[in-house]
Structure 1
Amino acid sequence: MLPTTELVLLRRLATEQVSGRAPSLAAVVVRDGEIVWSGARGLVGDTPPDNATQYRIGSITKSLVAAVVLRLRDEGRLDLGDPLDKHLPGTSFGGATIAQLLSHTSGLTSESPGAWWERAPGGTWSELSASLTAEEVKHRPGRRFHYSNVGFGTLGELVARLRGTSWADALRAEVLTPLGMTSTTERPSGRYAQGCAVHPFADLVLPEPEHDAGAMAPAGQLWSTLTDLAAWTAFVGGRTGGVLSQDTVAEMREVATIDDGDVWSAGYGLGLQLIRLNGKRLAGHTGSMPGFLACNLIDPATQTGAVAFANTTAGVGILSLAADLISIADDYEPVLPSEWRPTEIDRSLLPLTGLWHWGPSPYHLRVLGNGWLDLVPASGGGRASRFSPLGGDRWLGHDGYYAGETLTVGRASDGTPTHLDLATFVFTRTPYDPAAPVPGGVDEAGWRA
């Protein structure tokens, strides 16, 4: 990036390292799938960390596990509406759906019973499942957002059962290797940062332990590098490398629940955290384990993302740092829109274009590439959507109110389009056209003063 941009990015990183008293802090900015800036402060051993230095990424592990679950869904091995019991019987919370587990709305307890799992050696799935009695279901499934590490331990076991291998081996074969994330491992390897706690009242550090979390590992076990998580961040933004379709990743980024109960600033999709900050709508995940903080975020609209790592238990505002790095990059070097160029379209669709009315409200319909249609209010706000062709004068809605609904073109005997039927709403060329099948009919006397 430009020298001025790089200086501002480095200053933001350096300020956070000092204010948060992090033994080391490292970050990258990603744009269009590539690392365009990297910076580091502090030391790992005797030298600064680099893009190949491993840090523990904590709960970012969850979004990687979620990708394997979505692969199972896309293969038809499960449905997100399936109760857990259908695939993993015998738990006390088997009525919760897979989608609810992915979005932290299952009502399941946040932490596993017993010793603090982030610092205690983990047990087996049988031991974890036996400890999850009915008392560990804290809320009615679907009622509210309640972050559950246990839920993702359960999803890891679900993956293992359906794949016939460990969750980690399935993840490595299906996600990590195809994306080139060869430095993402269950335990530290190569050059890695030592996890530390920083004394609250003195400039001293205390090494934090590292361990295998056992059945809880899918909630936060993995170690990774900036280079690997840059590839993952690009994946979250839609550069999926064939691991999942772009539509499925977009589904992961859709808001399934919010955690502030009002005009939302934070929410959760399917394995992804969703943040509205600095005027942007960001997707990714934070991670924390004793000795480590991590965050990856991307703005799908600009394809600018950031990854940040620190080897400290607390003190660094890791999410705000990553979000600020994205904003700095976009503010100082905004993404230019793609050039407009004429594009060939299905010219048989041109008679559908132009002005339509839902009752008295005017709409414009445009033809897009690949036979898609775009229906938007002629002025002001309102229900807008893009539609993909289903064949036979039928299109499928993809946005907003009409997502998933079917638009059907009605025609006269000579083939002229007369009206659009969109989920029972009839759009006509003129307001309330009496010749169209408007529900309830049109007053015979017509419009009057």
Structure 2
Amino acid sequence: MPEAKAILSAAESAIIEAAKLQQAAKKEKEAAAELFAEAEAADPAKIRADAYQETQRVRAALEKLLREKDMELQKWRALARGKTPPKAPDLLELEEKRALEIRYWKSESQARGDRIKELERLLTAEKEDHEAVKARMADIQSINGQLEQDAVELNLTLDHLEEENLRLGERIREVNVNAHQTMAEAAPLAAGAPQSFWTWLRKAKSSASSMAEMGRVFVHGNSPFTEGQMDKIFTEAGCDRSPDGRSARIVVVGVEGFSTAYLDGLIRGKDTPKIWTQELALAALATGDDPLVTCPLTVLRELGKVHPAITYLMQLGFEWPVLPAEQESDVLIIGSFSAEQSPLTIMGYHVGEEYPRGLARRSRLAKIYSNRLAFSADYPADRKREWGSPCTPQRLKEIALQICRNIGRNQGRKGLRLACLHWEQDLAWLKSKFYTGKADFVWPG
């Protein structure tokens, strides 16, 4: 009995000591976890390596001690119960359990090691990103420096342009003053210009532009100034002159010494230039604007009537009438007769079912356009003059107007649909044959 009590007391002491060892092992595990946390926070590689080695050493010692104490505890428990100590198979099972625990802790240690390596990789990547950001910031600072330098140069350029603009403004004002003086000197010579033109010019406002910006200039004809005088005026104003007129955008025509053949060539060319009188050129120098745009059309027409060259140009063309012309017709409808028959009817031009051949009708129109007209005995004399001379725009205009009036009066009337169709076809032929490129220039353009 005393021996049994001694065995039981020894077993209880062993159990207490094993519990203490388990508690110590738990504390060691917690200390190892703290070491890992400190290693992750501190980051240096040496601390992490030392912590890992110390953890492995402590774990191995604890596992060995636990195995020994567990065997001793099993032994004392068996003795206390009157049994024999555990046999070899029980020890193998115990060893397997310990081996599982060891593998678990090794796996946990490996995972923590991998985590530490991942932290190291992230830290390296962050350092590389930081270096890239620093390099980009240096580039941005360099670009900002260049932009600041460019801004300084741009401000200097703007200052220079403002100075040039001021000088140019002074030059334009000088040219305008000189132009006004020249115009005043030329007023007695240009007495032929209507008073309405000079009234408009006195009230016209000067702009910031100049005639030099409008294109190359060519002078053709004399009076009130000679060609040489006008060339000198344009040269002093800084205008670019055309030596032969071929590349001119503006042609200034005098009252005398102009060539109608040259004027015909201008309006028949591909790009017709602006055609000014010398008075209009002086107005452009004074105001800086195109007088054909700023001067009222009524004033331009009054000026053209007293200027031989412009009068000639105004007679060369007209605006083609638009269909239908809503006017009273003074051309007889086919089949009706009156004392006031037009030359179209008198000279054999007819339309409708009895005259279907377009070639015959147009041949008759060509003769009316190019030959002396025949009128009825009681045809008004003032109406005869409206027909103009053969092969002139006035003759073509009157023929076109007569046909348009017939169409406008008879469109939609029963039985005259074919007649209206013939008139429209013949009118289109007249336009393509005698008008386009020949009589379609209308001054001032």
Please say whether Structure 1 and Structure 2 have the same fold, judged by a TM-score greater than 0.5.
no
Q: Bigger relative contact order, structure 1 or 2, given CA contacts below 8 A and separation 6+?
A: 1
**Higher share in helix:** 2
State which structure, 1 or 2, has the greater radius of gyration over its C-alpha atoms.
Answer: 2
Normalization by structure 2: what TM-score? 0.19
**Higher share in strand:** 1
Normalization by structure 1: what TM-score? 0.19
